[in-house]
């Protein structure tokens, strides 16, 4: 079993508590920790991607926002670009060898060359910027509400949207996004939950309950997927750990939030 800062995974994952259980009519998943990798504990993680053997990360907070390329096994940042001090960095995605990064309340997004990190262009949007991913044809963006927006990947014009709902109604505070095998995975701010969402209907098709993965000094935020090896990674803001997890369906379908 790997250790992070001298703590075993078993000890680390006992450090968080949540309460208030309710039932759902969709599958509920828990997790098994496969591995744990070091992560910069000063990184306010807002976006996370895995591609070509590396993690790409967007971090936030004005004056500290960055775009990074990170070595998974060591946590070493091998390339970084600092955003202007007046911008709060948010989610990122990689589309056709370009990195697209949102900012929070400035309405400005950036397009970078993936290898050089040089800015290719800027674009604007009328909402806040939270998370972003893509389905191979469209960019998919969250703004902290229950709405997901579909954008043209070249013009960035809005071409559609869905409201995300579960059995109880709209699901707000959708944050960092990742498109995985035909579904959108979304962190829900202030919760240890990831929603699995149908991009066609907006319906929540499952919940991933990450209770027990400690939030450390910050919220759960950061989902990355290694499609070649079917590996799922999660982390949080200021977490010193990135976890590789395997999903396990719960039989009792109870969910804690």
Q: Whole-angstrom Cα distance, residue 144 to residue 164?
A: 12
Q: Domain ranges in the chain?
A: 18-256
Q: What is the pLDDT tens value at each position of the chain, 257 positions in all?
A: 344 444 443 433 333 333 334 445 899 999 999 999 999 999 999 999 999 999 999 999 999 999 999 999 999 999 999 999 999 999 999 999 999 999 999 999 999 999 999 999 999 999 999 999 999 999 999 999 999 999 999 999 999 999 999 999 999 999 999 999 999 999 999 999 999 999 999 999 999 999 988 666 679 999 999 999 999 999 999 999 999 999 999 876 555 54
- 18-256 in CATH: which number? 2.120.10.30
Let me know: does 222 contact 215? Beta carbons within 8 Å: no
């Amino acid at each position: 079993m790997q250790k992070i800062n001298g703590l075993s995974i078993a000890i680390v994952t006992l450090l968080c508590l949540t309460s208030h259980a309710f039932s759902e009519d969709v599958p509920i998943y828990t997790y098994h920790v496969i591995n744990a990798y070091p992560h910069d504990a000063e990184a306010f993680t807002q976006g996370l991607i895995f591609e070509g053997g590396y993690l790409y990360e967007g971090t936030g907070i004005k004056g500290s926002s960055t775009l990074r390329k990170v070595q998974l096994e060591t946590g070493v940042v091998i390339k970084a670009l600092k955003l202007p001090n007046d911008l709060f960095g948010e989610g990122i995605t990689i589309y056709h060898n370009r990195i697209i990064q949102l900012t929070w309340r400035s309405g400005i997004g950036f397009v970078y060359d993936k290898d050089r990190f040089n800015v290719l262009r800027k674009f604007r949007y009328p909402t806040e910027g939270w998370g972003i991913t893509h389905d191979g044809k469209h960019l998919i963006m969250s703004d902290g509400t229950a709405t997901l927006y579909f954008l043209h990947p070249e013009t960035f014009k809005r071409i559609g949207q869905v409201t995300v709902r579960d059995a109880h109604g709209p699901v707000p505070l959708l944050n960092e996004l990742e498109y995985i095998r035909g579904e959108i995975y979304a962190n829900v701010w202030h919760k240890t939950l990831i929603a699995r969402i149908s991009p066609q209907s907006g319906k929540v098709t499952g919940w991933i309950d990450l209770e027990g993965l400690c939030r450390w000094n910050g919220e759960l935020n950061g989902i990355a997927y290694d499609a070649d090896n079917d590996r799922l990674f999660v982390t949080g803001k200021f977490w010193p750990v990135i976890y590789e997890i395997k999903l396990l369906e719960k039989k009792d379908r109870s969910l804690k939030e």
